[in-house]
Amino acid sequence: MRKHWSLLLCLLTLGMAGCAGQPPDNLGVRDGRLAPCPESPNCVSSQESDEVHGMEPLAIPLPPERAQELLLEVLQEMPRAKIVTTEPGYVRAEFRSRIFRFVDDVEFYFDKEAGLLHYRSASRLGRSDLGVNRDRMVTILGKLLEKMDGEKAGE
């Protein structure tokens, strides 16, 4: 009996490790744009215009460098978030689901000329995310706005 539990535990561990998948090779900013969302509904982006994937970009009332610092603070405070890439004007993070450890790729692009923050959040695997990516972006942007408003009020 003990042998069967050990085998089951090993299989579950290997199965859950496979839920992470590999990061897509199209992440990053190219010609001022993040990667387009796939047709599946498990992706949102401020650079998409359709009802399923589209969200509004965020106006940045602070210098982009400071807004990026505040964004990094927000991401560091979030559970199961890992900041993967930080470059001037660009941040990429990975979020893991609590139980099955699925990975979502989240990107942020600070468009200095337009004074906007563009973003994309997409599941690596599966088709539906039950609105998790959209909810996550609403949460992150809300927390970032609070931090930026607090900083502006302190000026």
pLDDT at 8 over 80: no
Instruction: Provide the domain count of the chain.
Output: 1
Q: Is residue 2 part of a domain?
A: no
CB-side neighbour CA atoms (13 Å) of 40? 14
The model carries a pTM of: 0.85
Q: Is the pLDDT of residue 9 over 60?
A: no
Once rounded to an integer, what is the mean pLDDT over residues 50-64? 97
Whether 96 is covered by a domain: the verdict is yes
103: confidence class by pLDDT, cuts 50, 70, 90: very high
Beta bridge partners of 58: 117
Q: Which residue has the higher pLDDT, 78 or 10?
A: 78
CATH assignment at residue 125:
3.30.310
The reported pLDDT for the residue numbered 137 is 98
Q: Sort 13 into a burial class: Cβ within 10 Å, 0-12 / 13-18 / 19+.
A: exposed
pLDDT-based confidence at residue 3 (cuts at 50, 70, 90): low
Q: Which helix (H) or strand (E) holds 145?
A: helix 132-153
Find residue 95's DSSP bridge partners.
Answer: 81, 104
Neighbours of 11 (CB within 10 A): 10
User: What pLDDT, on a 0 to 100 scale, did the predictor assign at position 35?
Assistant: 97
Residue 116 and residue 47 in contact, taking contact as beta carbons nearer than 8 Å:
no
Pick the residue with more confidence: 104 or 10? Answer: 104
Q: Which domain holds residue 58?
A: 22-153
The answer to whether residue 9 is domain-embedded is no
Dihedral of alpha carbons 40, 109, 105, 57, sign:
negative
